[in-house]
Structure 1
Amino acid sequence: MKQVLIRSMACLAFATVNTAAFATAEPTEKDAIAMVERGAAFLKANGKDALAKKLSAKDPEFVQGELYVDIRDINTGIVLAHPINPSIVGKNLTDVPDASGKVYRREIIELAARKGKGWVDYMYKNPVSGKIEPKTTYIMRVGDVVVEAGIYKN
């Protein structure tokens, strides 16, 4: 019985260490693409209002630490949903530059209109570190909505 208890505690300790290591693993470009594709599929199946509701609720399917989906209207540039910074929802920030002066939101809209998907690099506040860091965001156009998810390049 004592050996069973010791083994159980060892397994629990191993699982805890591995879970902690996994939870702190930084997301990759593949993770960002997969999250955008999930968001796009949900949007196609359920509509932008339903996706906006999920994002506002910080649904774990679309919000995982510093990796999250946000959406904007391709025609107006208005942010339709942003789970980390809800104060920008309903605003057109298309021509507001990042910390380095880049008008990246304009680039996102232009890329979505021209190619339908791709990557845009810029500087943005990391919700985990709280610091302005280099970020690359994968975007995909679905009708009149741009679905976005990015990773920080540390």
Structure 2
Amino acid sequence: MKRILSAPLIALALASAHAVESPAEKDAIAMAERGASFVKAHGKDEMMKKIAAKDPDFVQGSLYVDMRDIHTGIVLAHPFNPTIVGKDLTDVPDASGKKYRREIIELAAKKGKGWVDYMYKNPETGKIEPKTTYILRVGDVVLEAGIYKK
């Protein structure tokens, strides 16, 4: 026997699926704060290991935490692009020419937290897309958790 789904049920199912796939700003903030708590409890070296291992507390689809040194700008951990770990990319611009990493460091140093917009490669689509990232300073590191704008 065939089941026929009504249009409202189909719309609800699609909306639910989309909600799971598209994290919101609150999710980025929560992930960065979870990372800050972890760093405070276990140290930045342990956090770097968690990020590199793509621990599900810090990597959920296109939402993930990465970490950089606030003084040098050097990337300390990145779950999807390990080739940039250990590098200072502070003045390397995004696809639109924006030096967003410098903005991240300056915002973290001045205010300790906030949002920075830029263009970045989405690990799920492989495309350069608009992204907004919540940054949170924890001691001498900056945790970054961003969402792709649709």
TM-score (norm 2): 0.88
Q: CA deviation at 1:53?
A: 0.3
1:7-50: per-residue Cα shift (whole Å, max 9, x none)?
Answer: xxxxxxxxxx79x8278430000000000000010001100100
Q: How does 1:61-72 map to 2 (within 5 A)?
A: 61-72=57-68
Residues 23 and 85 of structure 1: CA distance in aligned 2, closer, same or farther (over 3 Å): farther
1:35-76: per-residue Cα shift (whole Å, max 9, x none)?
Answer: 000001000110010000000000001000000000000000
Supply the distance in 2 between the matched residues of 1:52 and 1:28 (Cα, whole angstroms): 24
- The residue number in structure 1 matching 2:109 is 113
Q: How does 1:2-151 map to 2 (within 5 A)?
A: 21=17, 24-151=20-147
| Structure whose CA Rg is larger | 1
Q: CA deviation at 1:79?
A: 0.3
Supply the distance in 1 between the matched residues of 2:83 and 2:63 (Cα, whole angstroms): 18
Aligned length in residues: 137
Supply the distance in 2 between the matched residues of 1:120 and 1:63 (Cα, whole angstroms): 19
Secondary structure at 1:51 match in 2: helix
Secondary structure at 2:21 match in 1: coil
Does residue 153 of structure 1 match 2:113?
no
Percent identity, please.
77
Aligned-residue CA RMSD in angstroms? 1.5
TM-score (norm 1): 0.86
Unaligned runs of 5+ in 1: 1-16
Unaligned runs of 5+ in 2: 1-12
Supply the distance in 2 between the matched residues of 1:46 and 1:32 (Cα, whole angstroms): 21
